[in-house]
Structure 1
Amino acid sequence: MEMLKKDKSNNDVQESSLSEKYSKLFDQLERCNEDEQRKKIEEMNEVIDEMDEEEFESMFTPVLLNKMHKMFVEKKLLMNDALVLLKHFGYYRVLKFSHVYGIEEASFYERFEEMIIDEEMKKKEKDEKLLVDLFECYLLLNNRFNSILFSICVPCLMKVALKKEGNEETQKEVEMALLALSNVLYLDMGQELNLNDIKEIIQYQQEHHNLTRLAYQSVWQFLIYRFFNDKRLEDAIANELHLAREAKKEMEELMIYVDWKRTEEEREKETKEELILLRWLEVLNLYFSKCRLRNEEFVGLVGSIVRVFRAARDNYKEISNQCVYSLKKAAESRAGKIDDLLKSGSIDAVLDEIQQQTMNDRIVSDLLSFFMVVLWKLEEKEKDEKEKAKRKELKRKVFEKMEEEGYEDIIIWLGHYIYCSAFGDFQLIKNCFDYFVFL
């Protein structure tokens, strides 16, 4: 216990020093010339990269934005330098799923909107680079957008995203543009979505590999969010662009770069590969929620989630828990069939996990929901005798899996856990007992 307290104390000192270091650098900005300011900003961005999410969220507030705006108004901070700082804030926020509230009320955020409108209203000599920087900051820093401004942002950033050069500078520009677009959640774009442009970006990457991993994940995320408002995209996503095949390939390649043996205590912060892997799982959860079309790639995709789960389960709870949720969503998907769950190994993985003694209520709920879906799909009415025989064979295989893993012991453990549990989902508890009685 003393060791834990000591470690926590050391972490607190480190966090405190990061905050103090950033504050000192920020306070020094207004006393620097242009060259010195740029060097300070580079240092400040490096400090941000060292922070964890809690530290970042406590430091990046509307108050900080208002101070920056005041410096800009008083001409103590150049707009280009301010945008470099703000873009890095946004990059960190979106990549690490950080939630910062009240940003849209900051004076600098309002300034973005004014500057975007002013620059866009110009009939000639528009500063395209300034517009791109403004658009990226506008989309990265917040999730609440003016729909009129949004309709201006998207075509401009899509133009950047369509760049084909494979050099490092262009890759960074494309990555930032696509990351900004990926932060646009369920906003209905209407006719502003140019599906041909998105297809071009994805298909060119599949052939030429000109994008960074984060850029490629981001363009898929941008497309999947549009899927919620336009179900006509499903065929293009599943069968033309091959989401399942591409997500499987990307996740399995990312797994190579993750040190799965590193414990939670040893992990000071997530690597970029770990964060991109989490972003892929988020995207797949959205897709599973809405997809109806099934192809042969579905089984491979679910199998890759199982492999990520098995790699992460001992030392990386955030990823393993996200995998459990993804497997639940895959089971719930109308495209997913019972034989897909068997072939992918997801039933084995869930049976194995449900015997663990250290799960929280949310994970237990997800695991039980997975079994409820299995039951419902097994009870679906068969259309003909051939289908009925196939369903009977599937039931036999599922029950054999239960027996192989010793499901009788699981029932006793779950019964005790559910009775004592605080999550209190009566319908889930009832369904759980109904399920095991059915077995």
Structure 2
Amino acid sequence: MSTQDFTGLNICCKFTELFSDLEDFNENEQKQKIEEMNGLLEEMDKEEFKLVFTKELFDKINKMIGKKKMSLNNAFLLLKHAGFCRALFKIQNYDFNDSSLSERFEKMIIDENKKKKEKNEVRYLDLCECYFLLNKLFSSELLSICIPGLLKVALNKEKSEETQKEVELALLAMGVIEIDQKIEKDLYLNEMKEIIIYHQEHHNLTRLAYQSAWQFLMNRFDNDNSLEAVIVNELHFVREAIKELEELMKCVDWKKKKEEEKGKETKALTIIWRWIDTLGIFFDLCSSRNEEYSVLVESIVQAFRAAKDKNREIGKECFYIFESLAENEAIKIEDLIESGAVSLVLEEILRPTMDDEMTCDCLVLFVTLSSRLKEEKDDEKEEEKRKITKRKMFEKLEEEGYEDIIVSFHEPFDFLEQKFYYELSLDISDYFVNI
């Protein structure tokens, strides 16, 4: 067992030990123990989090609340922090969904929402945040109840640190609502536009809060193509993404080893990864041309170059985007050449230590680009542009010795295709751009 594994095991054991003793303490002592547990939570990686936050743990919390052995405030203190960590790092843990605690919170939210004068607004919002941060799927009723409350918090424009934290948590909770959850625009669009535009003018949100607002909006884009005009033209997503990536990249000392990262720098890396993930959704869906795409792709290339040996998750997300860019007809192939994306992929395919999966990604990308460049255009001007781009691509590939690279990979094509299910072409001519 490695030192890292042993440390992780110790963290999990310590957390579990503290949790099992909570019933023995009064409310104030319990609060202190939970704060200690929250400190341990911040040291856990994704797998350790999933080991600790099981259905059994959530069921146990539910019983403790029911028997009045844990106050709701103390439960919120623990669960909000757990939900924050789960949402921040996008941990795939759905044990809360099937727990009795999820049922309790759902009922409490509905019951609290029915109240008029007696409604406890603070409790209601705490319930909404916990429920959204820890859950995966939400009924239409829960969405219609909780989103207005979360938006009300997110619309608070004060710049105090306490308010910023509340706004950040509310937007993070909304950002976890996944792509397959349909939400009517009337429920959120005007408010979300106000939040984003106000921040662009006054910079009142934290970086995580701002990214989460875009994440929520981008997740809605998948079910509503009409949002593209709002996202690109009204809210200037491309310009904002370029600016945010540029500023976040400055927050990281890329020469530091991963184990030396501390606090703000680790969070900056996480937010860069979240932005790259959001950009992946955007480039999968966008259908209109924007002149700033080339600059944005260049930002992604820079993020990949900086992070490839420091943060593998950022590197993988960047490559998913390159594949989307190659497939999306709204993205000009010139953008991929001029931004450095083509050169980067060529460099990666030449690396002696690269893995088979990355090799597959590179090959898929070149097959896609080759296919696009072979498609003749009916419009005379567009056909002339295609020929110019094709020559540019040919010259770039010839300069880098691309043909020799592909020939050297021809033998393992079948192995890679079987291993990664990419249905790689076994016809070597599909990988070439000829003029």
Q: TM-score, normalised by structure 1?
A: 0.93
- Measure, in 2, the Cα distance between the counterparts of 1:430 and 1:261: 40
Q: Which moved more, 1:202-211 or 1:360-369?
A: 360-369
1:385 deviates by: 3.3
1:267-306 CA-to-partner distances (Å, cap 9, x unmatched) read 6998111111111111111111111011111111111000
1:408 deviates by: 2.9
Contact 1:25 1:40 (C-alpha < 8 Å) held by counterparts = yes
Contact 1:372 1:431 (C-alpha < 8 Å) held by counterparts = no
1:253 deviates by: 1.2
Match of 2:73 among 77, 80, 98: 80
Aligned to 1:99: 92
SS at match of 1:430: coil
Tell me: CA distance 1:226–1:391, structure 2 relative to 1, closer, same or farther (3 Å). same
Contact 1:71 1:77 (C-alpha < 8 Å) held by counterparts = yes
Unaligned 5+ residue runs, structure 1? 1-7
- Measure, in 2, the Cα distance between the counterparts of 1:426 and 1:39: 52
1:418 and 2:416 correspond: no
1:304 and 2:299 correspond: yes
Contact 2:357 2:420 (C-alpha < 8 Å) held by counterparts = no
Aligned to 1:257: 251
Match of 2:276 among 261, 270, 281: 281
Aligned to 1:352: 347
- Measure, in 2, the Cα distance between the counterparts of 1:282 and 1:334: 20
1:320-356 CA-to-partner distances (Å, cap 9, x unmatched) read 1211111111222232011111221111111111112
Match of 2:369 among 345, 365, 374: 374
1:266 deviates by: 6.0
Q: How does 1:186-201 map to 2 (within 5 A)?
A: 186=179, 187-201=181-195
Tell me: CA distance 1:325–1:50, structure 2 relative to 1, closer, same or farther (3 Å). same
Q: How does 1:45-56 map to 2 (within 5 A)?
A: 45-56=38-49
Contact 2:150 2:170 (C-alpha < 8 Å) held by counterparts = yes
1:262 deviates by: 3.5
Q: How does 1:333-352 map to 2 (within 5 A)?
A: 333-352=328-347
- Measure, in 2, the Cα distance between the counterparts of 1:171 and 1:235: 29
1:409 deviates by: 2.7
Q: Which moved more, 1:316-325 or 1:145-154?
A: 316-325
Q: How does 1:175-254 map to 2 (within 5 A)?
A: 175-186=168-179, 187-254=181-248
- Measure, in 1, the Cα distance between the counterparts of 2:69 and 2:259: 42
Match of 1:111 among 104, 118, 127: 104
Contact 2:295 2:339 (C-alpha < 8 Å) held by counterparts = yes
SS at match of 1:92: helix
Tell me: CA distance 1:431–1:267, structure 2 relative to 1, closer, same or farther (3 Å). farther
1:172 and 2:168 correspond: no
Amino acid at match of 1:114: K
Contact 1:136 1:180 (C-alpha < 8 Å) held by counterparts = yes
Match of 2:119 among 122, 126, 149: 126
Tell me: CA distance 1:417–1:317, structure 2 relative to 1, closer, same or farther (3 Å). farther
Q: Which moved more, 1:16-25 or 1:429-438?
A: 429-438
Contact 2:109 2:124 (C-alpha < 8 Å) held by counterparts = yes
1:191 deviates by: 4.5
Tell me: CA distance 1:204–1:76, structure 2 relative to 1, closer, same or farther (3 Å). same
Q: Which moved more, 1:163-172 or 1:402-411?
A: 402-411
- Measure, in 1, the Cα distance between the counterparts of 2:357 and 2:87: 24
Amino acid at match of 2:107: E
1:389 and 2:384 correspond: yes
- Measure, in 1, the Cα distance between the counterparts of 2:3 and 2:347: 37
1:210-258 CA-to-partner distances (Å, cap 9, x unmatched) read 0000000000010011111111111111111111111111112111122
Tell me: CA distance 1:89–1:394, structure 2 relative to 1, closer, same or farther (3 Å). same
Tell me: CA distance 1:412–1:372, structure 2 relative to 1, closer, same or farther (3 Å). closer
1:26 and 2:19 correspond: yes
1:157-201 CA-to-partner distances (Å, cap 9, x unmatched) read 011111100110010000000000000012111254331111111
Contact 2:287 2:330 (C-alpha < 8 Å) held by counterparts = yes
- Measure, in 1, the Cα distance between the counterparts of 2:114 and 2:357: 50
Tell me: CA distance 1:431–1:276, structure 2 relative to 1, closer, same or farther (3 Å). farther
Contact 1:119 1:131 (C-alpha < 8 Å) held by counterparts = yes
- Measure, in 1, the Cα distance between the counterparts of 2:16 and 2:420: 45
Q: TM-score, normalised by structure 2?
A: 0.94
* Number of equivalenced pairs: 432
- Measure, in 2, the Cα distance between the counterparts of 1:170 and 1:292: 37
1:49 deviates by: 0.2
State the percentage of identical aligned residues: 50
Tell me: CA distance 1:94–1:292, structure 2 relative to 1, closer, same or farther (3 Å). same
Q: Which moved more, 1:91-100 or 1:311-320?
A: 311-320
